[in-house]
Amino acid sequence: MKRRNFLKASTLAGLGFSAVPAQSANNSKSKNKSQHIFSLTQNKAVIHSNSVVKSSRIFHITDTHLSLNDERGIPFQEFSKRMGNAYKSNIHFETGEQVTTLQSFERTLQRAKEQKADFLALTGDIFSFPSEAAIEWVLGKLQETGIPYGYIAGNHDWHYEGMKGSSNELRETWTEKRLRPLYQNNDPLFASYELNGIQLVFIDDSAYEILPQQLRFLQEQIKSKKPFLLFMHIPLYIPGRSMGYGCGHPDWGEKSDKNYEVERREIWRKEGHTKTTFAFYDEVFNAENLLGIFAGHTHQLAVDVKNNIPQLVSAYNAAGNYTSIDIKPL
Ligand SMILES: [Fe+2]
């Protein structure tokens, strides 16, 4: 993100709102209901919640777009050329220096260590294509920090442009062949990590759609009543936002797909989203124990609030951006 854009986004500084389920207003038991307050100052988000007992700090990192490669990538050049040339040089969001994506990622991890982050949440497009060299490099860097992490894929992490196969097939193939170690023995499509009594839930929506087993997993999280944060690559539909907010978008589908030729991939589904994807969307925004949604994909810092649930899109890490999320007892 250019500095100008960052400053513009920073006008959200101090945004704060209190979220109390509407039905509790005239309810004598309202003091027992969950309450949470979300604030954002530049790239620092704070969530105060009465369902949290211990403070935690999470670093949200998304869209680094690493394209590090070596001789093992030569047979795949036909499929990695365009994205391999993207994000070669970036203006660092704080210093204004020209930085590579490797420098941006390393500096972010360094900052996470300095600021004693308890957890790193990676929400996809960490890679511009599933390069073995880049994946090994990231795994090494993450392990060096000693900080626990969760990872979920973005639409570029598993995509070799022009390769035959549906999005779901290609995701499955390259997740198994390359990305697997990043999931640390968890299911690549959904996982939950516990951090000081909060569930950090990761769900893969990198093909824009939600599968039945992912919906069931979300329903289990809601039923547990434990406070949780939701991490995904593609943000959920918000009226007035671009098609980048494509998960659950009522107009998503074949007719609204403008990039399938450039990205050389399967065109979006003719019939639009499945019922499962819409059901997932509704469940998320009616979840009383959900403290916030954190996504990437559109590369620009943005916040929306629906049904008292904030959805924050972090700006892209290719230019060094990240969001530190502090969770604190209310
Ligand atoms: Fe991206």
Distance 172 CA to ligand 1 centre (A): 19
- Asked if 204 and 210 count as a contact pair (C-beta separation under 8 A), the reply is no
3-state secondary structure of 40: strand
Distance 116 CA to ligand 1 centre (A): 26
Model pLDDT for residues 113-126, shown as the tens digit of each residue: 999 999 999 999 99
What domains are there in the chain, each with its CATH number?
9-15+35-329 (3.60.21.10)
Q: Distance between CA atoms of 191 and 178, rounded to whole angstroms?
A: 18
Distance 63 CA to ligand 1 centre (A): 5
* Predicted local distance difference test score (pLDDT) of residue 322: 98
Q: Distance between CA atoms of 240 and 237, rounded to whole angstroms?
A: 9
- Asked if 295 and 203 count as a contact pair (C-beta separation under 8 A), the reply is no
CA atoms within 13 A on the CB side of 239: 1
pTM of the model: 0.91
Distance 148 CA to ligand 1 centre (A): 23
Distance of CA 24 to the CA centre of its chain: 31
Distance 151 CA to ligand 1 centre (A): 15
Helix and strand element counts for the chain (H, E): 7, 15
Kindly report the number of other CB atoms within 10 A of residue 31's CB atom.
9
Distance 125 CA to ligand 1 centre (A): 5
How high is the mean pLDDT of the chain? Answer: 91
Distance 329 CA to ligand 1 centre (A): 33
Model pLDDT for residues 252-306, shown as the tens digit of each residue: 999 999 999 999 999 999 999 999 999 999 999 999 999 999 999 999 999 999 9
* Predicted local distance difference test score (pLDDT) of residue 31: 57
Distance of CA 189 to the CA centre of its chain: 13
Distance 316 CA to ligand 1 centre (A): 7
Q: pLDDT category, 15, cuts 50, 70, 90?
A: very low
Quick check: 213 pLDDT over 60? yes
Computed on alpha carbons and rounded to an integer, the radius of gyration of the chain in Å comes to: 19
Model pLDDT for residues 48-76, shown as the tens digit of each residue: 999 999 999 999 999 999 999 999 999 99
Distance 122 CA to ligand 1 centre (A): 12
Give every CB contact of residue 12 below 8 A, 6+ residues apart in sequence. 40, 301, 303
- Asked if 318 and 99 count as a contact pair (C-beta separation under 8 A), the reply is no
Distance 298 CA to ligand 1 centre (A): 7
Distance 135 CA to ligand 1 centre (A): 16
Model pLDDT for residues 17-39, shown as the tens digit of each residue: 444 444 444 454 555 677 999 99
Instruction: Sort strands 198-203 and 228-231 into parallel, antiparallel or unpaired.
Output: parallel
Model pLDDT for residues 78-134, shown as the tens digit of each residue: 989 989 889 988 999 999 999 999 999 999 999 999 999 999 999 999 999 999 999
Q: Which residue matches tokens 């098609």?
A: 243
* Predicted local distance difference test score (pLDDT) of residue 20: 45
Cβ burial of 28 (10 Å; 0-12, 13-18, 19+) is exposed
Distance 204 CA to ligand 1 centre (A): 14
Distance 141 CA to ligand 1 centre (A): 20
Give every CB contact of residue 29 below 8 A, 6+ residues apart in sequence. none
Query: Which residues place a Cβ less than 5 A from the ion ligand 1?
Result: 63, 125
Distance 86 CA to ligand 1 centre (A): 11
Distance 154 CA to ligand 1 centre (A): 7
Distance 127 CA to ligand 1 centre (A): 9
* Predicted local distance difference test score (pLDDT) of residue 32: 66
What single string gives the DSSP state of each residue in 263-326?
TT-PPPPTT-S-HHHHHHHHHHTT-TTEEEEEE-SS-S-EEEEETTEEEEEPPPGGGT--EEEE
Q: Which of 74-78, 196-200, 311-315 has the lowest mean pLDDT?
A: 74-78
Distance 197 CA to ligand 1 centre (A): 31
| Phi, psi (degrees; rounded to nearest 5) at 6 | -65, -45
Kindly report the number of other CB atoms within 10 A of residue 119's CB atom.
22
